[in-house]
Amino acid sequence: MDCLFCKIVAGEIPSKKVYENEYVYAFHDINPQAPTHILVIPKKHLASTDEVTGETSVHVAKVFEAIPHIAAEAGLTGGYRVITNCGADACQSVRHLHFHVLGGKQLPENMG
């Protein structure tokens, strides 16, 4: 499948890995928008939150189970923000479900 993040999971495209388990892969965003900007993704290809169903939601749950460990490892003791963009209005640019974990500074109150 011609998917950038599937290729990153497969190791075909390099990434700065910060965490991995059976279900989840996490790596530094190539264009960070905060001092810490990590992308946390399910290894299973889901295009966006539009593909989350009763059958696939375990992959999202696994992402959210991993996030506290990833945040702690990254030293985000002051808090962090988790964002996912879905579709054109949200400017989703990679069609493999991913969660941005942003932190390391006081983030703006406005989210959109």
Closest separation in Å from C-beta 61 to ligand AMP: 20
Task: Compute the distance between CA of residue 34 and CA of residue 62 in angstroms, rounded to an integer.
Answer: 24
Q: Which of 17-25, 56-64, 66-74, 92-100 is the region at the interface with ligand AMP (rule: CB under 6 A)?
A: 92-100
3 binds, among Zn ion, ligand AMP, none (CB under 5 to 8 A by kind): Zn ion
Residue 51 phi, psi dihedral angles, 5° rounding: -100, 15
Q: Is 69 tagged catalytic?
A: no
Shortest reach from residue 39's CB to ligand AMP, in Å: 6
Handedness of CA 93, 57, 100, 37 (dihedral sign): negative
Rounded to 5 degrees, φ, ψ at 36 are: -115, 125
Is 31 a binding residue for ligand AMP by CB under 6 A? The answer is yes
The site for ligand AMP, by CB under 6 A, has a size of: 12
Residue 27, H or E segment: strand 24-28
Indicate whether 85 belongs to the interface with ligand AMP (CB under 6 A).
Answer: yes
> To 5 degrees, how large is the angle CA 50–CA 8–CA 68?
65
Q: Considering CB distances under 5 to 8 angstroms, the limit depending on partner class, which of ligand AMP, Zn ion, none binds residue 45? A: Zn ion
